[in-house]
Amino acid sequence: MRSGRSATKSTPKSAPKRWLLGILGQLLVLAIPVGLGYFMYRTEQAERVQREQAEQAETASRGTVFSRGNLGEMLELCSKGWANLGFSYQTPVGLAWSRKGLFAYFHEGTDASSLRQVRCEPAGSSRGPRFDHPLHAQLPAEAPTKTEQEATEGDWNHAVAAAQHPLDSSELAVELLRHPVTGRVVARRWKAGAGGAVAAVEPEDAPAFGSLLPAGQIGAVAASAPTALVARPRHRWASEPDAVFALLYKEIPKGALISELRFEDDKIEVEIHHPTPAFDGKPDAPYGDKDFDEYGIAELDWWYPRSEVGFNCGQGTPLPEVQAQFAAARASAGPRIDSGWFSCSTAYSNGKVGVWHLVPIR
């Protein structure tokens, strides 16, 4: 007979502990990705707040510069933004500034009758629209030669240098414009008056010209205001593909074939298979390319020679066939597209025959 031991079998005390540890382990496995996700969310949120604070500080700092109305300081600040927008080697032919911003007007591309506005404000620099030249009516039938333009450039530089000082307490804004023919600099100075802003034009016999100041820069005007510049109508090529082809039919040389074509909302890039004059007296290049902006203005008035095949189609395709292929591709992609690309890229074609790749709007 066994002494002092019960014959009844009991459940081990360690079983509940193992069950609890298992549950805790599962919860820990679930908690790790949840905690990591929360940590990443909070980190991104903190970084976004830091970026916003930095942007606000930058905007405030730039706003302080503009509030002083010092053209010299504005030019130093804004020229960096102009360079990033593609105007690093060009001199503006018009400037207008107030305590809210600086607005420059540049010749861009092959159209001498219009100017591109570039804005520089506390929030940063940006490309504005094209406008007819404010003295468009006085433009000659042929643009002044480069020599004629260079001969009067000193007058413009002198006028800009002389204006590099703060606006005085009564001054609201200044506009400077270089005459497209004579090179003479005309100015309009805005001062505060009892009934609103008052303008004085210099010299007194200066021709009338449209205002270079966007709306909202000087408040109410006491007397009759100069004519406001009206932006030229622009194209949105991605939603106007018929206009793309209409432009190309006018622009490509007779007999040229399309090697590559790309268009987006605000630009067209085309490469043709056609003998193209090369540099330094070298034999003609087999290809040429040209870019057009949202107004249909070419960047160059000649085709840039290319001798190598990139994604372009070496043999090229007639434009009517490219247009017909686009119509077929569009039927599959839908009517609303973000961009279109005709090429022989091996990502979409066999590398020999051009294919359209259309990016639909989502």
DSSP for residue 251: H
Distance from chain centroid for Cα 284: 33
Give the pairing of strands 171-178 and 185-193: antiparallel
Question: How many CA atoms, within 13 angstroms, populate the side-chain half-sphere of residue 8?
Answer: 2
Q: Cα separations (Å) of 173 from 13, 59, 258, 311? A: 89, 21, 50, 50
**Which of 23-37, 225-239, 321-335 comes out lowest in average pLDDT?**
23-37
- pLDDT at 106 exceeding the cut of 90: yes
Task: At 31, list the tokens.
Answer: 């908690």
Round to whole Å and give the CA distance between 191 and 197.
Answer: 6
Among the listed residues 92, 119, 123, the one whose alpha carbon sits nearest the alpha carbon of residue 106: 92
Q: What pTM does this model have? A: 0.80
Residue 27: per-residue pLDDT: 63
Residue 58's pLDDT band, with cuts at 50, 70 and 90, is low
Round to the nearest angstrom and report the end-to-end CA distance of the chain.
87
Task: At 18, list the tokens.
Answer: 């193992």
Q: Which residue has the higher pLDDT, 136 or 161?
A: 161
Residue 311: per-residue pLDDT: 82
Q: Where are the alpha helices (DSSP H) in 99-209?
A: 146-151, 153-162
- Left, alpha or beta for 252 (phi > 0: left; psi -120 to 50: alpha)? beta
The residues that bridge with 103 in the sheet, in sequence order, are 96, 119
What counts of helices (H) and strands (E) characterise the chain? 6, 13
Average pLDDT over residues 142-161: 72
Report yes or no: 194 and 222 within 8 Å, Cβ to Cβ. yes
**Which of 154-168, 218-232, 258-272 comes out lowest in average pLDDT?**
218-232
To the nearest 10°, report the CA torsion of 161, 167, 171, 174: 30
Round to whole Å and give the CA distance between 241 and 244.
Answer: 5
Q: Cα separations (Å) of 180 from 64, 131, 206, 228, 243? A: 34, 14, 13, 19, 31
To the nearest 10°, report the CA torsion of 160, 161, 163, 166: 130
Give kind and range of the element (H or E) at residue 80: helix 71-84
DSSP for residue 108: -
Residue 302's pLDDT band, with cuts at 50, 70 and 90, is very high
Give the pairing of strands 102-106 and 114-121: antiparallel
Residue 7's pLDDT band, with cuts at 50, 70 and 90, is very low
Average pLDDT, the chain: 86
